[in-house]
Structure 1
Amino acid sequence: MRSSGVKAGAIGTAVLMGSALLTACGGDGDPNADKPAASASAGGAQEQGTTAVRSAYDRTAEAETAKLTLKVRAAANGRSVTSDGKGAIDLADGDSTMTVTAEGKTIEQRVVDQVLYQKAPGQKVPDGKSWVKIDLQKVAERQGVNPGQIGDPAQSAGYAKAITDKDVSKVGAETIDGVRTTRYKVSVDVAKLPGGSRLREQFGPTLPMQIWLDDDGRIRRQQVDMTVKAPASAQPGSSASPRQIKVSTLMEYSDFGTEVDADAPPAEQVADMTDQVLKNGRQQS
């Protein structure tokens, strides 16, 4: 990203890295996730909403697989890029297959064992390869966050640990693709997430989130809005405020139990671009 403006490729990378960081907020399951907060009155509406939201990630993961649609909008310096994805995800290990469309281009994408593979028509790949790969675990480690459960948004148990009664408000009933759901507004305390100190520098103190749960307590839709902040140190010689990229991610789950066939491409067709992505991220200014 240069001072003259935000390139589409840079915004696309921000979308990818932003999603990786969000899903990296997972960890060991919270043993108290299904229990009401001690300060809440038994049976109270606030307690029930909090309990439902905190347990939603585990309940969704219990479905094992699902179809997934994704819409990500990233905006900075008066420019925005929207990406739409459609595919399927294994909720147990985070493997997924997806077709992503952005700015008129279609990308074939797979996540296998925490490694992202992408293939796009006409893309320039070293040594004539057809696929690029990015090690999401390595990226997360360089960012100073917990790499656990990367690529598995349904198991972001870290969210559950960062949600209390005061963070949840019930909006009401809504129907999504014929399925009755209950919509909640949630404010996630970033400081309580694994790697919270580093994440707080990047995303601010809270992550505004909306979540729609079906009658089985599973996530049908989740929207997360965040502002990704680049530290001033990333802009040598600049006294301006840190760059900001606003990212809105909307995920929808359906057809629980669907078949997911996510395999890594043949090794001879893959070029590892992880280090290049990390290098570009450090050089953006």
Structure 2
Amino acid sequence: MRFRGRTSGAIVVAAVVGSVVLTGCGGGDAEAEGDGRSPSAGTSAGAREQGTTEVRAAYDKTAEAESARMTIRMKLSADGKTITSDGEGVIDLAEGDSVMTVRAQDGTLEQRVVDQVLYQKVTGQKAPGGKPWIKIDLKKAAAQQGLGNQQLGDPAQTAAYAKAITDKDVTKVGTEKIDGTSTTHYKVSVDVAELPGGEQMSKQLGPTLPMQVWLDDEGRLRRQQIDMTVDAPASASAQPDNSAAPQRLKMSTVLQFSDFGTEVDAEAPPSGQVADMTDEALRGARQQS
């Protein structure tokens, strides 16, 4: 987690792609967007349709809780090296603001997301200029990933993503308990091409993105797991000055929510204590892609 281009690039990839998928699979009028099959399609088809409806609606229902306590576990692997991290904190489910403490192999950092800007302060380290905090503009990072001016984490955008999941993409696994709460476990295959910016994303992620979700009895998200492999385009990996860039990055992210309605107090650090590392992070992301 040192302030270097490669690590910052990985953070941007995780933040952009992870946030897009978290937002992207919700919402819309799922029942009104059915595939036109008749009620006689059969019990299994009906079960798939119900599962699709529940998964599509889960993100809106979770956002309606306004806030929650969140834990995250992330594993990044590239060039034969693996970085693992885990964090805990609180998140505003409607706006996307959050406050977290994240621990990894080489230290602990305090992280805030405020108005689509990521702030991080690593214990015992200084950013350029001796500043304690760095910041990365996630909107700018999203634009680089071909996602335009969309607001990451904005539940108002969820209707545009509902098309990315069809009845054949959702499979009910069973029921499980998470921290004593009963949940229903689904496996989901997200059609990357149907996501905004999907044409560019599919070049790195492939045609589908595997995801698992666990929903409580109120239809809210309790756990989400995303396992993705990001491949560097051949044109980028063939360039001599990018010879050190990883050909493939594997990322597994598990988000878990609890204590819905908890208070969230996310404020940006004083501007004089912050070094803007957006451009460096984007350079690192380009080298990896």
Query: Normalising to structure 2: TM-score of the pair?
Result: 0.87
Q: Which shows bigger deviation, 41-50 or 73-82?
A: 41-50
* SS of structure 1 residue aligned to 2:182: strand
Query: Which segments of 5 or more consecutive residues in structure 1 lack a partner in the other structure?
Result: 1-7
Q: 1:37 to 1:151 in 2, by over 3 A?
A: closer
Give 1:191's aligned residue: 193
Map 1:225-244; keep pairs closer than 5 Å. Answer: 225-235=227-237, 236-237=239-240, 243-244=247-248
Aligned match for 2:17, one of 11, 16, 21: 21
Equivalent residue letter for 1:160? A
Runs of 4+ residues over 6 Å off in structure 1: 152-155, 238-242
Question: Residues 67 and 29 from structure 1, CA distance in 2 versus in 1: closer, same or farther, beyond 3 angstroms?
Answer: closer
Counterpart CA distance in 2 for 1:39 and 1:70 is 38
Q: Distance in 2 between matches of 1:9 and 1:32?
A: 41
Q: Contact 2:9–2:283 (CA<8 Å) still a contact in 1?
A: no
Matched residue type, 1:169: T
Q: Partner residue of 1:5?
A: none
Match for residue 136 of structure 2?
134
Correspondence 1:256-275 to 2 at 5 A = 256-275=260-279
8 Å CA contact 1:88–1:260 kept in 2: the answer is yes
Unaligned runs of 5+ in 2: none
Secondary structure of 1:199's partner? helix
Alpha-carbon distance in structure 2 between the residues aligned to 1:104 and 1:239: 26
Question: Does the 8 Å CA contact 2:227/2:250 hold for their aligned counterparts?
Answer: yes
8 Å Cα contact 1:24/1:146 also seen in 2: no
The equivalent of 2:30 in structure 1 is 33
Give CA deviations for 1:96-143 in whole Å, capped at 9, x if unaligned. Answer: 000011114100000000000000123231222110000000111122
Question: Matched residue of 1:24: which SS?
Answer: helix
Distance 1:119 1:23, change over 3 A: same
Question: 1:279 matched to which residue of 2?
Answer: 283
- Post-superposition offset of 1:33: 2.3
Tell whether the 8 Å contact from 1:58 to 1:155 is kept in structure 2 after alignment: no
Q: Name the structure 2 match of 1:249.
A: 253
Contact 2:111 2:118 in 1 (8 A): yes
Q: Which one of the candidate residues 114, 118, 121 is aligned to 1:119? A: 121
Q: 3-state SS of the aligned residue for 1:249?
A: strand
Select between 224-233 and 249-258 the one with higher mean Cα deviation: 224-233
Structure 1: how far apart are the matches of 2:25 and 2:164? 13
The amino acid of 2:6's aligned partner reads A
Distance 1:76 1:154, change over 3 A: farther
Distance (Å, rounded) in 1 between the aligned partners of 2:156 and 2:59: 5
User: Which shows bigger deviation, 241-250 or 117-126?
Assistant: 241-250
Which structure has greater helix proportion?
A: 2
Pick aligned residue for 1:66 from 68, 71, 80: 68
- Give the Cα–Cα distance (whole angstroms) in 1 for the partners of residues 282 and 216 of structure 2: 39
Q: Secondary structure at the match of 1:225?
A: strand
The 3-state SS of whatever aligns with 1:221 is: strand
Q: What is the Cα deviation at residue 78 of structure 1?
A: 2.2
Distance in 2 between residues matched to 1:261 and 1:240, nearest whole Å: 41
Q: Tell me which residue corresponds to 1:3.
A: none
Q: Offset at 1:161? A: 2.4
TM-score, structure 1 as length reference: 0.88
Aligned counterparts, 1:145-164, within 5 A: 145-151=147-153, 159-164=161-166
The number of residue pairs the alignment matches comes to: 279
Give the aligned residue type for 2:60: D
Root-mean-square deviation over aligned CA pairs: 2.8
1:71–1:135 distance in 2 versus 1, CA, 3 Å: same
Identity level (%) = 60
Q: Deviations over 1:199-252 (max 9, x none)?
A: 101111100000000000000000011101111232314899981111011000
- Cα separation, partners in 2 of 1:11 and 1:41, compared to 1, 3 Å: farther
Report if aligned partners of 1:93, 1:149 keep a CA contact under 8 Å in 2.
no
1:52 is matched with which residue?
Answer: 54
Does residue 216 in structure 1 map to residue 213 in structure 2? no
